[in-house]
């Protein structure tokens, strides 16, 4: 009887723990999807679209529980996204995207943001990394001028 009770307690704990982790991942997943929108806009050389996507990213950061992501980390994400949102100059946006990418790569390694693999890609010319939901290189740092410059550095599953 004791084994049954202990097994039941562990099962309940596991289910509650998995549910809490799923909620955490969902909040970070929204940030990831907004990040991908920023990346796509920069790769398309569209500063207006990048600005709008960054504004949506900022809005999403305010919906993340600071027990999931620390206030310090959220502030860094917001800072980089605010620069992208406030600027209509794609060079300025891309410069902030370096740091936003570094922070998002760290979060993506910590949280499961997608059911599919997430690719960490790197451009040696830009000396910068970014996340992608596909293995094909679509470079946000150079856009159409060097769209396929880069390689997959790692895969997060």
Per-residue pLDDT reduced to its tens digit, 112-146: 888 899 999 999 999 999 999 999 999 999 999 99
Task: Give me the pLDDT at residue 2, please.
Answer: 60
DSSP 117-151: -EEEEEETTTTEEEEESSSS---TTTGGGGTT--E
Task: Give me the pLDDT at residue 85, please.
Answer: 98
Q: 42: number of CA atoms within 13 Å, CB side?
A: 32
Question: Which of 5 and 10 is assigned the larger pLDDT?
Answer: 5
Task: Give me the pLDDT at residue 5, please.
Answer: 59
Is residue 61 within 8 Å of residue 143, measured between CB atoms? no
Helix (H) or strand (E) holding 94: helix 90-110
Task: Give me the pLDDT at residue 1, please.
Answer: 61
Task: Give me the pLDDT at residue 89, please.
Answer: 97
- Smallest CA-to-CA distance from 102 within 129, 80, 69 is with 129
The average pLDDT across 45-63 equals 96
Enter the pTM of the model. 0.83
């Amino acid at each position: 009887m004791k084994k049954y009770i202990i097994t039941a307690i562990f099962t309940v704990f596991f289910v509650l723990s998995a549910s809490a982790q799923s909620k955490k991942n969902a909040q970070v997943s929204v940030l990831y999807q907004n990040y991908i929108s920023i990346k796509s806009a920069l790769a398309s050389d569209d500063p207006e679209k990048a600005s709008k996507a960054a504004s949506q990213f900022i809005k999403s950061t305010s919906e993340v529980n600071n027990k999931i992501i620390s206030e310090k980390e959220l502030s860094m994400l917001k800072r980089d996204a605010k620069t992208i949102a406030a600027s209509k100059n794609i060079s300025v946006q891309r410069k902030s995207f370096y740091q936003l990418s570094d922070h998002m790569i760290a979060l993506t390694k910590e949280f499961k943001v997608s059911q599919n693999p997430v690719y960490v890609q790197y451009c040696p010319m830009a000396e910068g990394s970014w996340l992608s939901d596909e293995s094909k290189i679509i470079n946000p740092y150079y856009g159409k001028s060097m769209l396929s410059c880069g390689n997959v550095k790692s895969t997060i599953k």
